[in-house]
Structures are given as C-alpha cells and as structure tokens.
Homo-oligomer: A and B are copies of this chain.
C-alpha cells in the first residue's frame, strides 16, 4: 500500500476545495492527461483515501442557526452499554459528530439546532433519552472561527 505522491496530493487538495471539478479540468490543473488523472482518482477512491464527496449545505440557509457541543458520560464502559448508546445516538439526525473520548467524559457530540427552542426539544427528546446517560453538559458556539473539512495539506 504505497503512499500518495505529489500528484496524488495535488489531486486530493483540489478535490477538497472543489469536488465537482470535471476530470478534464482536474487533469490540466495537476499536469496530467485526462485518462491518467481518471485512473489515479479511481485508485484513490478504491483505496479509501477518498471517503466520499459532499455538498456543504449551509446550516443557516436551512435554518440551523445553532451549534451545541455536548459532553456525555455513561453509567459504565461495558461494550454493551457503549453499543446501545451509539446505536441510539446515530438515530438523532441533529448529531453531526460523535466521538468516544478519553478523559472526564465518555462522549463528545456536535449538535445542530434551528434555535434555542429547537435545542431544548432535541435535548429533552433525544439526548436526555439516550440509554445509560448519567451526565450531560451542553455549551454553545457563539461564532464559527474555523470549519475545514480536512487537514490542510
């Protein structure tokens, strides 16, 4: 499993900033013929280097004006406890990110809500209702400073 070379990195960087660029334009940008470029892209996709292509839909335009960061602790760290919690949290469409963590809390979540009233509903109907939860701590984003989809190459 060889590492991506400089041309692969150029392809990845370009697709990170514009995933809908045509293969012909991408090829010109990285200095390849269209067919060579298409073949490399195929390999990058099949190796799982590229997980997918996503439209970044504005939360605000869709009326999601609020981002909450939620720390959660469970009653234990048994495998069954974790997997029941995770299965439930995946069903909440407002949860954008969820990590199992080291440290004081077991999980950290990034949650989108339309407004404070909507967040109260999500907190009551979804987050508080998650199995095995013993502690929840919400804080709110006042301003987005950085939101990059990927590591700067």
Binding site for B on A (CB under 8 A): 3-4, 12, 15-20, 47-59, 61-64, 67, 69, 86, 89-90, 93-105, 107-109, 112, 139-153
Contacts of A49 in B (CB 8 A): 57-58, 61-62
Contacts of A62 in B (CB 8 A): 4, 12, 49, 151, 153
**Cβ distance A114 to chain B, nearest Cβ, rounded Å:** 9
A16 touches B141 (CB 8 A): no
B56 touches A100 (CB 8 A): no
Contacts of A102 in B (CB 8 A): 139-142
Q: Give the docked Cα–Cα distance between A48 and B139 (Å).
A: 27
A-B contact pairs, 22 of them (CB 8 A): A3-B63, A15-B55, A19-B20, A19-B53, A50-B57, A51-B57, A55-B150, A57-B150, A67-B99, A89-B146, A90-B146, A96-B148, A96-B151, A97-B148, A99-B145, A101-B139, A101-B142, A102-B142, A103-B140, A105-B139, A107-B145, A109-B146
